[in-house]
Amino acid sequence: MTLQLNHFSAAVVFALFASIVFGITHRETTREMVRYGLYCFAMFLGGVFVAGWAMWLLRR
């Protein structure tokens, strides 16, 4: 079975699961874990958009 994700969906899936692990392993309490996980997810996605726009600008 072959799965072909596009660049964006691959980045979102990656960000989701990496953020869950980061949240659990880097913080002490449940509340902090959730907050840090969400923060990491937002940073991953923000990074994707920033990198995307940077590449678009470089291409022009």
Partner 1 sequence: MANSTAGKAKVAEAAPVNMMAVLAPAVGWLIPGAGHMIQKRWIRGLLLLVSIVTLFVLGLMMQGRIYRANGGDILDILGFVGDLGAGGLYIVTLALDWGQGAIAFATADYGTKFMIVAGLLNFIAVADAYHIAIGKKQ
For residues 12 to 51, the per-residue mask of contacts with partner 1, x marking binding by CB under 8 A and - elsewhere, is: -xx--xx-xxx-xx--xx----------------------
Q: How far is the CB of 26 from partner 1 (least distance, A)?
A: 8
Q: Is there binding between residue 4 and partner 1 (CB under 8 A)?
A: yes
As given in the structure block, the two tokens for residue 40 are 């990491």
Euclidean distance between CA atoms 20 and 2, whole angstroms: 25
Give the rounded distance of the alpha carbon of 16 from its chain centre: 6
Binding region for partner 1 (CB under 8 A) = 1-7, 10, 13-14, 17-18, 20-22, 24-25, 28-29
